[in-house]
Amino acid sequence: MNASLPLYQILLGVCVLVGSACWWGVFVCALFFRSRSERFDATLAVWPPVTLLKPVYGLEKKLLTNLRSACLQDYPQYQVVYSVQRRNDPALPLLLQLQNEFGAEKVAVVHSRANVGLNGKINNLAGALPHARHDLLVISDSDVLLRPDFLRRIVAPLADPEVGAVSTFFRGRDAAAWYEQMEQL
């Protein structure tokens, strides 16, 4: 009996082992950072002004609710910049409605055809960047519903001089179709 495995089985086995090791590494890091984030108090003496960049492309489920949540932050001074790349983007009327509702001082709507690479979202953000009024930038996708304390929670860790960037986990909700449920896995 020949006990050797075919090369493709060996390669697939190595891929599974490497992927599993990466997953465990991410899990351990997530536990470490989660415990570390508890030490940040969400009540700074002075909250720095923030620009929240929201790249938008087309209409998606609950878009207006998600975009409006960016304008309802419990934060002293912030600006929201919604950006699209196409003049005929179907989301543009919703963005203008939000700008009307919350004022041009708080909400900027940008149309830019910036092209800095192959990634559409990065191009969209590159077009929005010149319209940011504050040095501290927060990026959030258009399909994300933000809690009112989102900006406070993401800015608070930056009070530590050893922290240069902050990222958050997201939690999927309201998956109706099977492919949306699979995506949430």
pLDDT for position 160: 86
CA-closest candidate to residue 51, choices 183, 140, 142: 140
pLDDT for position 40: 54
48-102: per-residue pLDDT in tens?
999 999 999 999 889 999 999 999 999 999 999 999 999 999 999 999 999 999 9
144-165: per-residue pLDDT in tens?
999 999 999 999 998 888 888 8
Cα-flanking dihedrals φ and ψ of residue 107, to 5°? -120, 125
> What is the pTM assigned to this prediction?
0.75
Distances (CA, A) of 108 to 33, 52, 71, 80, 103: 34, 10, 11, 6, 9
